[in-house]
């Protein structure tokens, strides 16, 4: 079960003026299950997006990048159950056909449609099913559909991931609502996920780009479940300008900083939700690396720990086998590494001090921390002032089962 992850309530998800969502069942994976989402953006909406860095990026990712460079998006089309990745030229034609289907239905140009897919890799996208289901999605477009859409984009997720917040800018109430999906194949850059965050604030394009990239670095690019970067990752940030606030033209202004902070927070909440709902997860683990030479080496150590199957299985077993953490730190590849300066903590319990077992440590202390379902690992490198944080989860029997049976 997801680790302390609260299911969103429909009433908690606020409509964003200028963003409508429609959904229907295309029967891509399960007949009758909603698996197609159409998002309509009001004219004048500013959009920023980031995509997977996997060299085998899916056809919809390639096409979405091309379309975004050509014009301002008016529609986003998302399907679950099929990734349309590893599908060659046929996959590109399928993505293009889906965009054209939206264009024909809505009387807009096909390059104003951004396509997104998630699901099984290597299978051809059933374009005919999507085309047949699109009219229903178009007919039920509504600003109140965030809750249903968050469920429709799920694959192996157990819990839908969505959150809303409101703030005051320039005397106007600003709404920010976001949703995400992701549970396995999670690792930057980016973490395997789809995420859509919208606001009715008026924000200049260059500022929106900066806000998104800042938020990504503090959230979706700091999580990992299994170290596998997907072919289909994407995160889209949309600003409709419907709230009537004075346009935000710099991130350094008071309003720029205020809305950037809340988008940071929403992004991090969604990112944490993905880890908490990691496939088979029973523990939510925060890894803090402190006193490094720079941020990059702090992340290097953090991810070495987070990706270790031995560390992750020890956490699943609630076994304070801290030697596995020590070994991960030691093989993280830092140059001129002085072990005598290293300290390692499980929660508040010091397990390694001066590069050797802490005299105060007892197995009972370690066992008490490991029995918790939310655990913090802290490593002090003693090399500088840099610090960074990564979030991960444990490896359980269910992780193996879910992925072994993924296509059955």
Query: In whole angstroms, what is the distance from residue 234 CA to residue 58 CA?
Result: 11
Of residues 317, 251, 259, 19, the one with CA closest to residue 146: 19
Cα–Cα distance measured from residue 217 to residue 190, given in angstroms and rounded to the nearest whole number: 9
Residues contacting 164, CB < 8 A, separation 6+:
12, 13, 14, 146, 175, 176, 177, 178
Considering the candidates 192, 229, 282, 304, report the single residue annotated as catalytic: 192
Q: d(Cα 147, Cα 163) in Å, to the nearest integer?
A: 9
Q: How many CB atoms lie within 10 A of CB 386?
A: 17
DSSP-H helix ranges across 307-359: 309-316, 323-330
Side-chain-facing half-sphere of 19: CA atoms under 13 Å? 32
Q: Does residue 192 carry a catalytic annotation?
A: yes
> Which value, in Å, is the radius of gyration of the alpha carbons in the chain?
22
Which residues belong to the active site?
A: 192
């Amino acid at each position: 079960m997801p680790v302390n992850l609260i299911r969103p309530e429909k009433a908690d998800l606020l409509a964003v003026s200028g963003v409508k969502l429609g959904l229907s069942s295309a029967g891509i994976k399960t007949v009758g299950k909603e698996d197609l989402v159409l998002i309509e953006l009001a004219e004048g909406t500013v959009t920023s997006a980031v995509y997977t860095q996997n060299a085998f990026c899916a056809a919809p990712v390639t096409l979405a990048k091309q379309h975004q460079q050509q014009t301002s998006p008016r529609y986003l089309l998302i399907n679950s159950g099929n990734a349309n990745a590893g599908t060659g030229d046929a996959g590109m034609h399928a993505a293009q056909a889906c965009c054209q289907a939206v264009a024909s239905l809505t009387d807009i140009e096909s390059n104003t449609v951004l396509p997104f897919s998630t699901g099984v890799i290597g299978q051809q996208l059933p374009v005919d099913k999507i085309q047949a289901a699109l009219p229903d999605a178009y007919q039920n477009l509504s600003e109140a559909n965030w809750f249903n859409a968050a469920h429709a984009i799920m694959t192996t997720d157990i819990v839908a991931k969505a959150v809303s917040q409101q703030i005051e800018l320039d005397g106007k109430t600003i709404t920010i609502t976001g949703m995400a999906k992701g549970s396995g194949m999670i690792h930057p850059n980016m973490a395997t996920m789809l995420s859509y965050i919208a606001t009715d604030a008026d924000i200049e394009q260059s500022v929106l780009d900066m806000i998104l990239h800042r938020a990504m670095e503090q959230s979706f690019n700091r999580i990992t479940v299994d170290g596998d970067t997907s072919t289909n990752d994407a995160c889209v940030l949309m600003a409709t300008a419907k709230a009537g606030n004075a346009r935000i033209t710099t991130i350094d202004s008071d309003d720029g900083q205020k809305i950037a902070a809340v988008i940071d927070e929403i992004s991090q909440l969604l990112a944490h939700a993905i880890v908490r709902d990691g496939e088979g997860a029973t523990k939510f683990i925060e890894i803090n690396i402190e006193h490094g030479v720079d941020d990059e080496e702090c992340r290097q150590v953090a991810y070495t720990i987070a990706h270790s199957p031995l560390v992750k299985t020890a956490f699943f077993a609630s076994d304070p086998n801290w030697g596995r953490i020590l070994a991960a730190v030691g093989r993280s590849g830092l140059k001129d590494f002085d072990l005598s300066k290293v300290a390692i903590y499980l929660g508040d319990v010091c397990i390694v001090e001066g590069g050797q077992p802490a005299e105060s440590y007892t197995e009972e202390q370690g066992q008490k921390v490991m029995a918790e379902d939310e655990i913090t690992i802290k490593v002090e490198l003693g090399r500088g002032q840099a610090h960074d944080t990564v979030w991960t989860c444990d490896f359980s029997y269910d992780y193996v089962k879910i992925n072994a049976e993924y296509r059955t």
